[in-house]
Structure 1
Amino acid sequence: MGKLATFIVEMLRLVILLILTLFVLGGVEQWIFKMAYGREGFLYTALPGNLLVFFVVYRNYWQFKGWYQSEKNRKLNPGLTRSLIVVALFLIVLPGLWTWA
């Protein structure tokens, strides 16, 4: 398979992983929010947090398991990884903090 074909297949894989990740994380967050507060929450800030989690997991793990191999594939810097995860967790927890106010 050529470089372009593997790139296209990898982009399709990325989109499928993104959709599955967002559905799973969103469902878990809605379930936790409903268990904690007795109602479904408006998790508008959780979506960017979930996207950050996906970005970190893809760049540090899933990109090395795919079909497209490149010499440019590198893991994220550990400091950047920690920072992105902290920001993502803050964005995911933020709707719950609004209900306490």
Structure 2
Amino acid sequence: MKVLLELVRIVFLVVLIGGILSAFINYVYSKLETDIDTYGWMGLVSILIFLFVQYRNKYQFSGWYTGKGRVKLPTNVSKVLITISILLMLLPLILSFFLT
């Protein structure tokens, strides 16, 4: 039962926080005249990577699940994933600027 509750919690976090961040990113992209139809997926992947890192390093310790495998990501892995997330977030702006 705890695993099911944790899965519902994960889906809720991804939908709620991911939706808010996605709306903000799309708003910024549209204001900067970035082609959202072509490059918008990069922002979404960036948000998913960011949420994964946040969940593994923070949110998993405040949930219902108390089983095995509850460890933080190594610091180097967290830094690399956050860097990839930031680059994916900025890449549509760069590509749209240079390719149009």
Do both share a fold (TM > 0.5)? yes
- 2:89 and 2:59 map into 1 onto residues whose CA distance is 22
Corresponding residue of 1:31: 27
Counterpart in 1 of 2:74?
77
Maintained 8 Å contact 1:10/1:68: yes
In structure 2, the CA distance between the partners of 1:40 and 1:98, relative to structure 1 (3 Å rule), is closer
Q: Does 2:26 correspond to 1:41?
A: no
Counterpart check, 1:65 vs 2:47: no
Scaled by the length of structure 1, the TM-score of the pair is 0.87
Rounded to whole Å, the distance in 1 between the matches of 2:55 and 2:68 is 16
Opposite residue 90 of structure 2, the aligned amino acid is V
Structure 1: 4+ residue segments shifted above 3 A: none
Structure 1, unpaired ranges of 5+: none
TM-score (norm 2): 0.87
Which residue in the other structure is 1:92 paired with? 89
Q: Which runs of 5+ in 2 are unaligned?
A: none
Alignment partners' CA distance in 1, 2:3 and 2:41: 32
